[in-house]
Amino acid sequence: MCKDDKVVFADAGYTSDTYKRGARSLGMSWKVNDKRKPKKNMSSSQKKQNRKNSQIRARVEHCFRVIKCQFGYKKASYKGLVKNAVQVFTLLGLANLYMLRERLGGLIRPKLANSEEKRKK
């Protein structure tokens, strides 16, 4: 955790009260899913909060799947902090474009049907 961070999202493996208190003492909002206690059910408010947290984490983690699976970037090699940062930011930007490719549709690439109609005229 850095001092500049405002919100903490993490796996349920980080549900420790020590981590939670540490984050809150730094003024951070703690958004880690709660675990069910042994022999106790979770309250409906805990379930709702866990669902919200999971939806946000899923959106964030999808871009990492694109970077790993679509672009094949599975290992990072140290080339210097600036070069690594530039490479990662470029990959994240491309991953965002890849995930929005259907929404952007004709903005990036004109549709083939339209271009064929223009050729016939």
Domain boundaries, the chain: 33-120
Task: Mark 75-106 as b/e (b = at least 16 C-beta within 10 Å).
Answer: eeeeeeeeeeeeeeeebeeebeeeeeeeeeee
Backbone torsions φ then ψ of 30, nearest 5 degrees = -95, 110
Q: What is the pTM of this model?
A: 0.58
pLDDT in tens, the chain (121 residues): 666 778 888 777 777 778 888 888 888 888 888 888 888 888 899 899 889 988 888 888 888 888 888 888 887 777 788 988 898 899 999 998 888 888 887 665 555 555 555 555 5
